Every structure is written in C-alpha cells, then in structure tokens.
Amino acid sequence: MIKKKMEEENRDKGMSKVVKTISFIIAIPIIIFGLYVILHGHLTPGGGFPGGAIIATLLALFLVAFGSYTVKSSHKELLSSLESLALVSFILLAFFGLGSTFFHNFLANTANIFGKSISYGVNNGYLPTGGTIPLMNIAVGFEVFAALSLVVLIMYTGQSGGGK
Amino acid sequence: MINYFPFLAVLILIIMGLSAIIFKKNLIKIIIGISIIGSSVNLFLISLGYRSTGVAPIFTNAPKLEMVLPTPQALTLTNIVIDLALIAFMLSLVALVYKHYKSLDIRDRRLKG
Amino acid sequence: MEKLIKITTLSILFAFLLVSFFCIHPAGKPNTSMMDDYFIQNAQAQTGSNNVVAAVLFDYRGLDTLGEASVLFAVASGIFILFSGKDDKKENGRGE
C-alpha cells in the first residue's frame, strides 16, 4: 500500500489551476481558426497542411497542462482510426473522377455543390467555387492533425504507456 | 553579383550542415545538421521561382496581375512535410538506441549485431 | 590524417557547388516559365479556385500530394510500431 501511495505521488500532475482553466477557454478559438484556414484553402494562402498543424497544437497544449497521466493511452486507437479514415476518403475522392483521368476535378464548372464558374481576373473571392479542392483540403487537414497528434503523444508517453 | 545572393546563402547553409554531419560525434548534433540541410533545400526551391516585380499567386484582391511562379511553392510545401516526418522518425530511433546502449557517442563500437 | 581527408572532401564539394551556382539564371529573372504562365492564365477557368498554388497542389499535380500523405501515414505508423515493445524488468544476468 505504501508503494501505491508513492506511485500516486510520483505521477505527472500537470500545471496549476489557472493554466488548466485557460487551456479550456482558448481551445475553442484555436479550433475555429484552424477550420477557417482549412476551409478557405482555395481563396487565401493556407490549405490542408497548415490548418491541420494549427489544430494539432491543441494536443501538445493539453499534454503540457494536464500531465501525461490524464491524457490516456486509449486515445492512440482513436487518432489512428481517424487518420486512416481521412486518407481513405482522400483516395476515394480521387477515384470518383475516373471517367476521364485519375484526380480529375469532376465538380468544377458544373451545377453541383462547390461548382460555380469564375473567369480570369481579380475578384473578391466566392466560397462555393473550387470543385474537389475544398473537399480534399478537409480530408488532408484531418489526416495531418491525426498524424502529428499521434507522433507527439507516442513520443511523450514512450513505452510505459502513461495512465490507462 | 548582387542577383546571386539567395544562392550564396543556400551554399553557406549547405556547407554548415555538412560540416555538422562530418565533424561532430554526438548523434543529436548529426540530426541537427541533417535538419539544416533540409531547410536550405527549401530556400533554394523558393528562390528559383522568384520574379522581382511579382506578387503572391492569389487572385483574391490582388494588387496586380504579374505573379511569381507557383510550381516551386507547391514543391516546397510537400518538402516541408516530408522533412518533418523524417526528423521525427530519426529522433525516435535515437531514443531507442539510447534506451538500449545508454550512450549517444558514435565512437563507441558497440553498435554491431 | 582523418581530419585532412574530411577537410579536402568538404572543400572540393564547396568548389563544385560554387561554380554551379553561377550557371543558374540570376534570382529574380527566370527565363523559362512557360508551364507556370499556362497555370496562371488557366487556373481560374479550369479549376475554379482563386489560389493558384492550391490548384497546382490538388488538381494539376495531385499525385505528389497523394505521395506526401502516404509518407506521413507510413512514418506515423512506423513510430507507433517502434514504441510498442515491452519494458524488460529483469536485466541482471540476461542478455548483454
């Protein structure tokens, strides 16, 4: 019983109460900003890869603020499934345009979703344009978020696995 | 001569990274040298496709219609992500080596089958 | 002796790179840009996106992005496998 008490005092408790509260409050604007950068990838600089990296900083923030005992190891399976699902949906989007070529943009200049046509010149930027480019941006964004979070989580908890 | 300054900066960075790989004996410092070479290649790719009187290749509220070349920027984005994955994998291998042999020196002569 | 070989190799490489960096076009005036001029002229009409870099990454050169996503996935899976061994508790007397 003494060994259990020593183990409980030795585990990583994280930082103070102020940091834990603030990290909950600031998580919501970070998620909204990351989704904005991902979704407007065809209008402004950015896209799938920087947007996924922005959302992946949240897991590092929670690891530092809460300690490696609270962020459980069962999250590894969830992140791995999300990464595989996003990559499969990216490849599936490429297969849908197989009428002419692989990776053919089958939604541009048609009347479906994301299919408005624009002409050459400077304009203000309309959201429902782009064809398959916003959909591929979302898929790549989720894949980069899951992969980077998985790498950070595994290299932090190591082989012992943290708290279960 | 002043037009070649970006390429001379790339040359200096490559020589610094290579001398870190050749002359250092600690495994972590060798990995830092590899990372420096990766960043210098990104700088080289972007400075190849640069137009001195051009703006960013985005048509939303663009100031003028003459733009820099967009293809090297796409290749650089891909290269950044691949370098990140490479450094992460090398660092996890070094962590495993340290856990097994308790030393990070490359002169140790214990790293054999 | 070992240091001499290393310094000689580094200086030969430095000389080669220095000569070859003066054969490229001066930075700021590229003279062969026909493919990129085609991309800038036709990206808005053919793909419908204002961002030419995103159109190049996901439409004109989508296979490179597929390769990059696969590399990221493979490395994440490799790190997952590397750190899934067990701690060996008994180290005295077993193994070297």
Contacts of B74 in chain C (CB under 8 A): 53, 56-57, 61, 64
DSSP-assigned letters across all residues of chain C: -HHHHHHHHHHHHHHHHHHHTTSSPPTB--S--HHHHHHHHHHHHHT--SBHHHHIIIIITHHHHHHHHHHHHHHHHHHHHHT--------TTS--
Strand partners, B58: C51
Average pLDDT, chain A: 87
Per DSSP, the three-state class of B25 is coil
* C-beta atoms of A103 and C53 within 8 A: no
* C-beta atoms of C48 and A117 within 8 A: yes
CB distance from C78 to chain B under 8 Å? yes
Close Cβ partners of C18 (under 8 Å, ≥ 6 residues apart): B11
Share of chain A above pLDDT 90, in %: 49
Q: Which long-range contacts (CB under 8 A, 24 or more apart) does A159-164 make?
A: A159/B99, A159/C83, A159/C84, A159/C85, A159/C86, A159/C87, A160/C87, A161/A73, A162/A68, A162/A69, A162/A71, A162/A72, A162/A73, A163/A11, A163/A68, A163/A69, A163/A70, A163/A72, A163/A73, A164/A72, A164/A73, A164/A74
CB distance from C57 to chain B under 8 Å? yes
Residue B62 structural domain: 26-101
CB distance from C45 to chain B under 8 Å? no
CA dihedral of A70, A74, A77, A78, whole degrees rounded to 10:
-60
Residue A41: inside a domain = yes
Write down the pLDDT at residue A161: 57
Residue A83: inside a domain = yes
Residue A10: inside a domain = yes
Residue A164: inside a domain = no
**How many whole angstroms separate alpha carbon C27 and alpha carbon B48?**
7
* C-beta atoms of B86 and C75 within 8 A: yes
* C-beta atoms of A120 and C76 within 8 A: no
Residue B6: inside a domain = no
Residue A137, Cβ density class (10 Å: 0-12 exposed, 13-18 middle, ≥19 buried):
buried
Contacts of B8 in chain C (CB under 8 A): 21
Number of domains in chain A: 1
* C-beta atoms of C17 and B11 within 8 A: yes
CB distance from A29 to chain B under 8 Å? no
**How many whole angstroms separate alpha carbon A58 and alpha carbon A30?**
8
Give the confidence band of A53 by pLDDT, cuts at 50, 70, 90. Answer: very high
> What does residue A90 show for φ and ψ, rounded to 5 degrees?
-65, -45
Residue B1: inside a domain = no
Mutation target vs B (from C23, C68, C70, C94; most B CBs, 10 A cutoff): C68
Write down the pLDDT at residue A73: 67
Number of domains in chain B: 1
Residue B74: inside a domain = yes
Distance of CA A65 to the CA centre of its chain: 20
Contacts of C69 in chain A (CB under 8 A): 87, 90, 140, 143
pTM for this one?
A: 0.89
Contacts of C52 in chain A (CB under 8 A): none
**How many whole angstroms separate alpha carbon C14 and alpha carbon B4?**
16
Give the confidence band of A147 by pLDDT, cuts at 50, 70, 90. Answer: very high
Residue A123 structural domain: 2-157
What average pLDDT does this structure show over C60-64? 93
> What does residue B26 show for φ and ψ, rounded to 5 degrees?
-100, 140
Residue A162: inside a domain = no
**How many whole angstroms separate alpha carbon B32 and alpha carbon B21?**
8
In this model, does residue A21 exceed pLDDT 80? yes
Give the confidence band of B113 by pLDDT, cuts at 50, 70, 90. Answer: low
- Tokens 């995103």: give the residue: C54
Count of Cβ atoms closer than 10 Å to residue C50 Cβ: 27
Measured at the CA of C9, the angle between CA C7 and CA C15, to 5 degrees, comes to 100
- Of the two residues C92 and B38, the one the predictor is more confident about is B38
- Of the two residues A6 and A113, the one the predictor is more confident about is A113
Residue B30: inside a domain = yes
**How many whole angstroms separate alpha carbon A85 and alpha carbon A141?**
12
For the stretch B54-110, pLDDT in tens is 999 999 999 999 999 999 999 999 999 999 999 999 999 999 989 888 888 888 877
Domain residues of chain C, as ranges?
43-83
**How many whole angstroms separate alpha carbon B38 and alpha carbon B78?**
12
Residue B8: inside a domain = no
Share of chain C above pLDDT 70, in %: 90
Helix/strand/coil percentages in chain B, nearest 5: 65, 5, 25
Nearest to B4 among C22, C53, C61 (CB): C22
For the stretch B16-58, pLDDT in tens is 999 999 999 999 999 999 999 999 999 999 999 999 999 999 9
What average pLDDT does this structure show over C28-40? 91
Distance (Å) from the alpha carbon of B29 to chain C's nearest alpha carbon:
17
